[in-house]
Amino acid sequence: MSAQVSCPVFRCSKTSISPCTGHRRTCEQYYCLSHSKGTLCDRCERLKLSEMESSYRVMLRDLERRAYSSSRTVGVSVLFLISLVLLGVALVWVVRRDNQSSIPVFVFSLGGGFLGVFGSLLWYVTKAREYMRAKSVELDLRYPGFFDYCQQWQAKIDKITSKRTYLP
């Protein structure tokens, strides 16, 4: 003879299928099929997900920090320094204004300086994103669901930064 245990959720008339294994501690509650997630009850599953999300958030911050520090390569730094030198040449030309025939040098140095700064910043951010994507896939092998968490985080960041608010 088997005893049937009713589900402890308010107004749930179904019978329980198995006890909750608990998260970090024993739960010792019995739940029906609709109020359980695998071997955990809804409450233990929420606790597990919130703990996992907070640990993923810490891992993501650490990953982001490592990505931006590793993307500062020699190529990015040299391009940035060359663009600063070109901007310095343009600034010296504006201050001196000795010779009108050196206008092409001014235009070249000013344009090259701005393109170099923009290009180095773009290269820096692109390398950081590539690093984050590669490492998040690698971390997903050890911590299932981490890559999906990173993708959701990146989608939220893209959504926030794509909103354009214009003040009248």
pLDDT tens-digit readout, 33-81: 665 666 777 777 788 888 888 888 888 888 888 888 888 888 888 888 8
Q: Does residue 145 carry a pLDDT above 80?
A: yes
**pTM of this prediction?**
0.60
Residue 167 clears pLDDT 70, i.e. is over it: no
Q: How many Å apart are CA 5 and CA 16, to the nearest integer?
A: 5
> Coil, helix or strand for 22?
coil
Residue 8, pLDDT score: 61
CA distances from 127 to 51, 68, 91, 163 (A): 30, 8, 30, 24
Domain ranges of the chain: 1-51, 71-151
- pLDDT of res. 119: 87
Tens digits of per-residue pLDDT, 5-32? 656 665 666 666 667 777 777 776 766 6
In tens, the pLDDT along 118-131 reads 888 888 888 888 88
Which two tokens mark 139? 């971390």
pLDDT attached to residue 99: 61
Query: What pLDDT was estimated at residue 60?
Result: 86
Residues found in the chain = 168
What are the beta bridge partners of residue 40?
37
Of residues 104, 77, 101, 105, the one with CA closest to residue 89: 105
Instruction: Classify the C-alpha dihedral 24-30-35-37 as positive or negative.
Output: positive
| Sequence-ordered alpha helix ranges (H) in 18-167 | 42-70, 74-96, 103-142, 146-162
**pLDDT band at residue 2, thresholds of 50, 70 and 90?**
very low
Instruction: Look at 10-24, 126-140, 142-156 and tell me which has the smallest mean pLDDT.
Output: 10-24
- 87: pLDDT strictly greater than 60: yes
